[in-house]
Amino acid sequence: MQKHVTFTASKLDGWRQLLRYVSIVAINLAVNYFGLKLCVEIFGWYPTPSKMLITLITVAISYFGQKYYSFRITKSK
Protein backbone atom coordinates (compact mmCIF):
# COMPACT_ATOMS: atom_id res chain seq x y z
CA MET A 1 0.00 0.00 0.00
CA GLN A 2 2.78 2.42 0.94
CA LYS A 3 4.43 1.85 -2.43
CA HIS A 4 1.33 2.89 -4.37
CA VAL A 5 0.32 5.84 -2.19
CA THR A 6 3.55 7.49 -1.05
CA PHE A 7 6.35 6.22 -3.25
CA THR A 8 4.73 6.18 -6.67
CA ALA A 9 7.92 7.18 -8.55
CA SER A 10 9.98 4.22 -7.30
CA LYS A 11 11.02 1.86 -10.09
CA LEU A 12 12.38 -0.97 -7.93
CA ASP A 13 10.94 -4.48 -8.25
CA GLY A 14 8.05 -5.19 -5.86
CA TRP A 15 9.69 -8.24 -4.24
CA ARG A 16 12.91 -6.32 -3.65
CA GLN A 17 10.95 -3.51 -2.01
CA LEU A 18 9.07 -6.00 0.15
CA LEU A 19 12.28 -7.64 1.37
CA ARG A 20 13.83 -4.26 2.10
CA TYR A 21 10.68 -3.15 3.91
CA VAL A 22 10.69 -6.29 6.07
CA SER A 23 14.38 -5.77 6.88
CA ILE A 24 13.69 -2.22 8.09
CA VAL A 25 10.82 -3.50 10.25
CA ALA A 26 13.10 -6.18 11.73
CA ILE A 27 15.78 -3.58 12.49
CA ASN A 28 13.16 -1.42 14.22
CA LEU A 29 11.98 -4.37 16.32
CA ALA A 30 15.57 -5.09 17.38
CA VAL A 31 16.27 -1.43 18.17
CA ASN A 32 13.05 -1.25 20.18
CA TYR A 33 13.75 -4.39 22.19
CA PHE A 34 17.46 -3.88 22.87
CA GLY A 35 17.09 -0.11 23.27
CA LEU A 36 14.47 -0.54 25.98
CA LYS A 37 16.57 -3.21 27.73
CA LEU A 38 19.58 -0.89 27.61
CA CYS A 39 17.74 2.18 28.87
CA VAL A 40 15.71 0.49 31.62
CA GLU A 41 17.90 -2.36 32.84
CA ILE A 42 21.42 -1.01 32.23
CA PHE A 43 21.00 2.76 32.60
CA GLY A 44 18.19 2.50 35.17
CA TRP A 45 15.94 5.04 33.45
CA TYR A 46 12.17 5.05 33.94
CA PRO A 47 10.29 2.96 31.35
CA THR A 48 8.02 5.71 30.00
CA PRO A 49 10.75 8.24 29.03
CA SER A 50 12.84 5.33 27.71
CA LYS A 51 9.98 4.21 25.47
CA MET A 52 9.46 7.77 24.21
CA LEU A 53 13.16 8.07 23.32
CA ILE A 54 13.27 4.68 21.60
CA THR A 55 10.07 5.52 19.71
CA LEU A 56 11.68 8.69 18.32
CA ILE A 57 14.73 6.68 17.27
CA THR A 58 12.69 3.97 15.56
CA VAL A 59 10.53 6.56 13.78
CA ALA A 60 13.70 8.16 12.37
CA ILE A 61 15.11 4.79 11.33
CA SER A 62 11.82 3.86 9.70
CA TYR A 63 11.45 7.14 7.83
CA PHE A 64 14.99 7.31 6.46
CA GLY A 65 15.16 3.57 5.84
CA GLN A 66 11.94 3.56 3.83
CA LYS A 67 12.77 6.74 1.95
CA TYR A 68 16.39 6.01 1.04
CA TYR A 69 16.50 2.21 1.06
CA SER A 70 13.17 0.42 0.62
CA PHE A 71 11.35 2.74 -1.76
CA ARG A 72 14.16 4.86 -3.13
CA ILE A 73 13.63 6.53 -6.44
CA THR A 74 16.15 5.35 -8.99
CA LYS A 75 17.45 7.97 -11.36
CA SER A 76 17.22 7.18 -15.02
CA LYS A 77 20.17 7.87 -17.30
3-state helix, strand, coil split of the chain in percent (to 5) is 75, 0, 25
Between CA 36 and CA 2 the distance in angstroms is: 28
> Could you tell me if 57 and 35 are in contact, meaning their C-beta atoms sit under 8 angstroms apart?
yes
Question: Taking the domains of the chain in order of start, what are their residue ranges?
Answer: 11-70
Between CA 7 and CA 35 the distance in angstroms is: 29
pLDDT of amino acid 48: 97
pLDDT of amino acid 68: 86
pLDDT in tens, 20-55: 889 999 999 999 999 999 999 999 999 999 999 999
pLDDT in tens, 14-29: 788 888 889 999 999 9
